[in-house]
Amino acid sequence: MAARTDRSGEFDLIARYFKPLAAGRDGAFGLTDDAALLGVSDGADRIVTTDALVEGIHFRPDDPPDRVARKALRVNLSDLAAMGAAPEVYTLALRIPDERDDDWVAALARGLAADQARYGVTLIGGDTVGGGADGDSGPAMLSVTAIGRLARSPALRRGGAAPGDDVWVSGTIGDGGLGLRVCKGEAAGLDAAQRRFAIDRYQLPEPRVELGPALVGTATACLDVSDGLVADLGHLARESGLAAEILLADVPWSDAAAAADYPETERIAAGDDYELAFTAPPDRRDAVREASRTTETPVSRIGTMRPSSGVRVLDRNGRPLAVPRTGWRHR
């Protein structure tokens, strides 16, 4: 994790806060070299993904830094899960604005340490960058590259769905968007416990690292719900050359989402859920439910893949519903 900045004490910062996160991984070399050695001798394929969180876009300036770090790691683990891979190692590129002190960096490291223990991953390298010039320090940023092991091939892809396949989703939908609303003071109708639940779902998403690998050989297509259920099913449908038809009444909601002043058509467009949306043939329903049972991850069947294109959302009477906004747009 070589330093590329004039920030005073940068190597000391790495040694103090991030070298402990590389302990036990010989190829990380204690983060003293320019790169890491990743020896692979088991014959299994590796999946690599990179995702970044930028202050003011993906997290709020007052979000707890330990949670920011954990979310940065978890959204990448979610990408691995969506392709059926179990996480192994990761690298971290970190931009530290000048106004952030060592306590902020220490909190990042504590958050990463907690999730390394939880998910069995190790930091093996990265980079650190200081603030900007001319007094404009700019936003904080964390970019993680995660590597996972694919125990069985082929990897889950977005483009493998077939006409007639069931559409499934894990967990509950809309909670990430609800949590952001709570943080902004825009959510009404929630008690204290529901508010805490929603904030946790926004700041600490649960990557489905057990379910993804369990679906290899059963699911025909898969991706994680980061931009919103409708938007992400649109990606899956496009890559599969089909349409995704979902029944709004079958989409799973948490008690908090159901209690909030939060329309269902907005819940299915909200991002930051990091659940898995996937397809599987109807004759594999028992296999899907078994994967759900063994990984203790709830799943719900919410629709069907059809010949056509796009995403259609149907009401209880089978009539198409207008969805004002389909999801997060990156540009």
Tokens representing residue 289 in the block: 């439910």
Contacts 24+ apart (CB under 8 A), 57-66: 57/139, 59/203, 60/183, 63/183, 63/203, 64/107, 64/203, 65/104, 65/105, 65/107, 65/108, 65/111, 66/107, 66/108, 66/110, 66/111, 66/114
pLDDT at residue number 323: 86
pLDDT at 189 over 80: yes
Tokens representing residue 269 in the block: 């467009």
Every domain of the chain with CATH number 3.90.650.10 lies at 166-314
pLDDT at residue number 3: 45
Q: Which comes out higher in pLDDT, residue 2 or 164? A: 164
Q: Which comes out higher in pLDDT, residue 218 or 35? A: 218
Mean pLDDT score, 172-190: 94
Cα 140 from Cα 325, distance rounded (Å): 29
Tokens representing residue 19 in the block: 């070298």
Q: Considering the chain, what percentage of its residues have pLDDT values greater than 90?
A: 76
For residue 5, name the pLDDT band (cuts at 50, 70, 90). Answer: very low
pLDDT at 29 over 80: no
pLDDT at residue number 43: 80
Give the pLDDT confidence of 31-40 residue by residue, as tens digits.
Answer: 776 676 777 7
Q: What is the CATH number of domain 166-314?
A: 3.90.650.10
DSSP code at position 263: -
Rounded to two decimals, what is the model's pTM? 0.90
- Average of per-residue pLDDT values in the chain: 91
For residue 179, name the pLDDT band (cuts at 50, 70, 90). Answer: very high
Angle of CA points 118, 225, 105, to nearest 5°: 45
Give the pLDDT confidence of 69-94 residue by residue, as tens digits.
Answer: 999 999 999 999 999 999 999 999 99
pLDDT at 331 over 50: no
> Which of 207, 205, 226 lies closest to 87, judged by CA?
207
pLDDT at 186 over 50: yes
**End-to-end alpha carbon distance in the chain:** 30
Cα 23 from Cα 4, distance rounded (Å): 22
Mean pLDDT score, 256-275: 95
* Number of other CB atoms surrounding residue 243 within 10 Å: 20
Tokens representing residue 52 in the block: 């970044």
Every domain of the chain with CATH number 3.30.1330.10 lies at 2-150
CA distances from 198 to 84, 91, 144 (A): 27, 29, 24
pLDDT at residue number 33: 63
pLDDT at residue number 135: 55
Q: How many Å is the Cα radius of gyration of the chain?
A: 21
Give the pLDDT confidence of 119-148 residue by residue, as tens digits.
Answer: 999 999 999 887 665 555 789 999 999 999
Give the pLDDT confidence of 103-117 residue by residue, as tens digits.
Answer: 999 999 999 999 999
Q: Pick one of 1.10.1070.11, 3.30.1330.10, 3.30.360.10, 3.30.420.240 as the CATH number of 2-150.
A: 3.30.1330.10
